[in-house]
Structure 1
Amino acid sequence: MDTQHTPILKRVGAVLLVVGLIDIAVMIYCIANRISYSSSFNIFAVIAGIFLLCGSLRAASLVRWFAVFMLAAFVALLIAWPFMQPFALTLTQFRLNPGTSFATFTFMVFVLGLLVWLFRELGREPVMAARASAGRKQRDMRIPAAAGVGLVIVMGTFMALLLGGESADRAKSIAEQQVGPGYRLHVSSLNIAKNNKGTFVSGVVTAWKDNEILDLPVHWEER
């Protein structure tokens, strides 16, 4: 059996294993220091890395599918971001927190580059040939790409409806009472929970001026 694909799988597996372990370490550090952190790699990257190091063609197919899905969603999110958060707020965040903004930008570039690299490496001819020899069908990468874009569209539409309704207006009103006039307001998140006792709403409103940004928690109960 041709083994030209094996070094490719081992190389990708090693990279994913390292990335996953680093991501887990960062996550643990953030949890211990009560720092907000979220990532889609960690455990998934470690498990996928181990399977790829073992030469699994099935894992290679799944990782490539997931990479295309994430890449499409990532690009769609970048395009949709100006519609999800006021551009003036984004500019203020970059200006007031250049270090954090640069770190975020660097991380985004790294993730984007990693996803592109995974897609290209696991789509190389030796890997495709090995899959064909093993009797595995070639996956249509348009499906995960469409799924990634579709997910962002659905989430964006849901957020637009949720953050543009009466609950969002009330959240802004409560936040304005906390900071006073002169701030521009944006509802960053909103959670609505209902049970037999009533409706409970909580969220975060970002209030900002040219020289200040505040994240204000808001909550109220509707009976």
Structure 2
Amino acid sequence: MYKYRAILKRVGIVLIAVGILDIAYWIYCISQGQSYSSIFNIPAVVAGVFLFRGSLRAVPLVTWVAAFMLSNLVSDFILLPFLKPAELWAIEFRLDAIALCRSLLLTIILIALHCWIYTQLRAAPVVSASVRSGHSASTPKLAFILGVALVVLPVGMMHFIRGGATGAKAVEVARTQYGEGYKYHLTGMGWYWPNEVHASLTAYNEHEIKPVQVQWKQRSK
């Protein structure tokens, strides 16, 4: 009867530990003037406390988030080779292999963590206890769908834009402003009323990689 409580307590301890570590790293980044964002820190600690106390009410929400993040991270990891040109990946690895490997390792760890959380909260004792208590115990299909969609759709849109006139214009403007000594990879676009276009690009050559921003007025038709 109380086996589900042991599972919730185990997941709660992990979430609290991860949340505390994330808060500590967040504070460190602030003290160093570095930007940092995460879905863990305080929400993870709060969710962990509820699960540690055996709250079945928190199970559907945490399961939903774990399913969303799992599908999102896996989709992102699968599409990773297509997010940048092979040449840019090679230059990143040559200039700072440690940072690149650390980023990939962190993604793998997060995938494993969310997979573990999801499988723990979908274990038979937890599902049975949730049903008996009148809480939702269904598979969070929408979370999986949204997790994939929020990766695939933006990547597909950016691929389409890069191959079109707007993408070519962004590279042209960047080349005018930052010179011919770089190659340019479009990473983001924004349209602002009435006819202003902003673009984010990565400028790179054999010795340097840097983010750049450009903007221009789009001619009215």
TM-score in terms of structure 1 length: 0.86
Q: 1:168 to 1:25 in 2, by over 3 A?
A: farther
Q: 1:108-147 to 2 correspondence within 5 Å?
A: 108-147=107-146
Contact 2:19–2:42 (CA<8 Å) still a contact in 1?
Answer: yes
Contact 2:73–2:107 (CA<8 Å) still a contact in 1?
Answer: no
Alpha-carbon RMSD across the aligned residues, in angstroms, is 2.2
Superposed displacement of residue 31, structure 1: 3.4
**Does the alignment pair 1:47 with 2:43?**
no
CA distance in 2 between counterparts of 1:32 and 1:174 reads 36
Superposed displacement of residue 12, structure 1: 0.8
* Percentage of matched positions with identical amino acids: 37
CA distance in 1 between counterparts of 2:161 and 2:33 reads 28
Superposed displacement of residue 210, structure 1: 2.6
The residue type equivalent to 2:71 in the other structure is A
**Does the alignment pair 1:205 with 2:204?**
no
How many residue pairs are counted as aligned between the two chains? 219
Q: Which consecutive residues of structure 2, in runs of 5 or more, have no partner in the other structure?
A: none
Q: List per-residue Cα deviations over 1:32-68 (Å, max 9, x = no partner).
A: 4332323222232122112112211121222122111
The residue type equivalent to 2:189 in the other structure is L
Q: Which moved more, 1:49-58 or 1:212-221?
A: 212-221
Corresponding residue SS for 2:200: strand
Counterpart for residue 36 of structure 2: 37
The residue type equivalent to 1:211 in the other structure is H
CA distance in 2 between counterparts of 1:164 and 1:144 reads 31
Counterpart for residue 169 of structure 2: 170
Contact 1:163–1:190 (CA<8 Å) still a contact in 2?
Answer: no
Counterpart for residue 12 of structure 1: 11
Counterpart for residue 214 of structure 1: 210
Q: Which consecutive residues of structure 1, in runs of 5 or more, have no partner in the other structure?
A: none
Superposed displacement of residue 142, structure 1: 3.4
Superposed displacement of residue 8, structure 1: 1.4
Q: 1:72-111 to 2 correspondence within 5 Å?
A: 72-111=71-110
Q: List per-residue Cα deviations over 1:144-170 (Å, max 9, x = no partner).
A: 222221222222233334444444323
Q: Which moved more, 1:84-93 or 1:174-183?
A: 174-183
CA distance in 1 between counterparts of 2:197 and 2:142 reads 36
The residue type equivalent to 2:65 in the other structure is F
Corresponding residue SS for 1:5: helix
Contact 1:5–1:126 (CA<8 Å) still a contact in 2?
Answer: yes
CA distance in 2 between counterparts of 1:137 and 1:149 reads 23
CA distance in 1 between counterparts of 2:122 and 2:14 reads 16
